[in-house]
Structure 1
Amino acid sequence: LRKVKVETPKGGYEADIKEFWQTGRSLPKDHEFRKWMPSNKWATEIPRFKEKVHKLFEQFDLVGKSLLKSVAIYLQIDENYFEEVANEGNSVMRTIHYPPVRQNEKGERSGAHEDINLITLLIGGHQPGLEIRSKKKEWLPVNFDPEVLICNIGDMLQRFTNHKLVSTTHRVVTPEESSKNTSRYSIPFFVHPNPNWVIETLDSCCSEDNPKKYQEAILSEDFLQERLKEIKLI
């Protein structure tokens, strides 16, 4: 028997009720980041699968870079800053299937958590269940619009900005009785920086009212590995 890693929210004990397939950035064999970013595994049974997935990945990647430029402008730093530190980032596109919920099954489809990366883009998931936690600690349902792309802030950006931009706490709850027998699908795109980026809090985001929360810098790859251990994926 082979032990299977199942994603579990940081500090949680019950694994998420979901399964997923994901793809990352394709790099040349001699690229310096290949030691951190392995080759993708492709489903050969589906015609043009690699071609279509690669195209969607590239579209997500372009949108992510555009949004990060807007973030840089808001932070009053060089608008091309993230283009330099996230141009070949360890970004991941994940296709998630939340299966029908069995009777008396414990746990949530995805327990309350924050994403690890810079920002997350989300399409799909038209079935109910996604909720975000407000500043008042209230859980609010997210109503999807097919013309809207949802963007969450992740922990790396939160650390970089000294919590000026706060990571979005969210979850996918077990549906009402009428929807329990229905699968739920979504496609998040996790925008990551280059693995050699050093996350050092911006001085401009620190003040007397918001003193520096992180005294030491950390390599983004080290941050990622720490968090993957916390959610039991490695």
Structure 2
Amino acid sequence: MAKLNPVHRIDDGVTALSYDDPYAPVLFTESLRRTGFAVIRRHPIPRELVQTIHAEWLAFFESDAKHAYAFDPTRLDGFFPATVSETAKGNDKRDLKEFFHLFPWGRYPGEVSGAARRYFEIASDFAGELLSWVEANTPAEVTDRFPMPLASMIRESPTTLLRVLRYPPLTGSEEAGAVRAAAHEDINLLTVVPASNERGLQLLTRSGRWIDVPADPGTLIVNVGDMLQEASRGYYRSTTHRVVNPSDDGARRSRLSLPLFLQPRPEVALSERHTAGSYMDERLRELGLR
């Protein structure tokens, strides 16, 4: 494992690193290990592409066209309205959001351009590199238990998912205690998401404090999911996070988000007790999506 140059100073928060930094793989992996999160600047995903997707899909969500793509309860592709949105594990109120599930094989709205498909391809390729960073900077006693390289787990996976998310403006009539995204952990290996057009993402530190995740425009946020925690036997921890309701002018604006959930092929063995497929089924039932 590579060692950090002494000039790199790391505090208790999430590390924001530059993709072109020669120490980027070490900094990235160390931040995931400490906090479950890392932020990448000057990455290969074009900022203009993300802005285009935000604009196109905001218009789509504000139209009635979305209802023509009602989600399939078995395939789980398509549009999920706020009335059937997720309820975080251990929570009794639905999140204040609506979203569209995009799989490589799934439905795609004709009302938008192919920008989201292009993002899916670029981000998936980059994600493979990030998984290779993780593996190269993880102790051998951990990686020796992986059934295959991490990047190979997601290759041609039919379950890797791009979720196009919209958190609508708040009206003041929301159910008491409901938030844009209640505290939860992600299911997958890693989640890759460009900084949203609005702030609100927070993580729970190991000391029990909620802190803001750095989300400057143009940056990329990456976090550990339950499947990496399972495959690494807890060496990497799936960190609890949430999206809080804004109290300023942001409450009157939609928040757009593009999380890419990196999911292994269903048959990949994460541990002695779970394949990726069995783990996914268990968690989807807990979320009320299956």
Distance 1:97 1:53 in 2: 14
Give the secondary-structure state (helix, strand or coil) at the position aligned to 2:288: coil
Query: After superposition, what is the alpha-carbon deviation per residue over 1:23-68, rounded to whole angstroms, capped at 9, x for unaligned?
Result: 1133xxxxxxxxxxxxx1111133xx2x322211110101110011
- Conserved in 2, the CA contact under 8 Å of 1:109 and 1:173? yes
Query: After superposition, what is the alpha-carbon deviation per residue over 1:10-29, rounded to whole angstroms, capped at 9, x for unaligned?
Result: 12100000001121133xxx
Is the counterpart of residue 218 in structure 1 residue 274 in structure 2? yes
Report percent identity of matched pairs.
32
Match of 2:132 in 1: 69
Is the counterpart of residue 230 in structure 1 residue 283 in structure 2? no
Q: Which has the higher contact order (CA 8 A, sep 6+)?
A: 1
Q: TM-score, normalised by structure 2?
A: 0.65
- Conserved in 2, the CA contact under 8 Å of 1:8 and 1:232? yes
Distance 2:179 2:260 in 1: 21
Distance 1:182 1:58 in 2: 29
- Conserved in 2, the CA contact under 8 Å of 1:68 and 1:82? yes
Q: Structure 2 counterpart of 1:92, which letter?
A: L
Q: Structure 2 counterpart of 1:43, which letter?
A: P
Name whichever structure is richer in helix by fraction. 2
Q: TM-score, normalised by structure 1?
A: 0.80
Count of residue pairs the alignment pairs up: 202
Question: Following TM superposition, by how much is the alpha carbon of 1:127 offset from its aligned partner in structure 2, in angstroms?
Answer: 1.1
Aligned match of 1:95 in 164, 169, 174? Answer: 164
Match of 1:203 in 2: none
Aligned match of 2:100 in 3, 21, 40? Answer: 21
Give the secondary-structure state (helix, strand or coil) at the position aligned to 1:198: coil
Distance 1:177 1:73 in 2: 43
Is the counterpart of residue 108 in structure 1 residue 179 in structure 2? yes
- Conserved in 2, the CA contact under 8 Å of 1:126 and 1:144? no
- Conserved in 2, the CA contact under 8 Å of 1:124 and 1:185? no
Query: After superposition, what is the alpha-carbon deviation per residue over 1:140-196, rounded to whole angstroms, capped at 9, x for unaligned?
Result: 012312332110000000111111101021100111143221111111110111111
Alignment of 1:44-63 (within 5 A): 44-46=110-112, 49=113, 51-63=114-126
Q: Which runs of 5+ in 2 are unaligned?
A: 1-69, 74-82
Aligned match of 2:215 in 144, 153, 161? Answer: 144
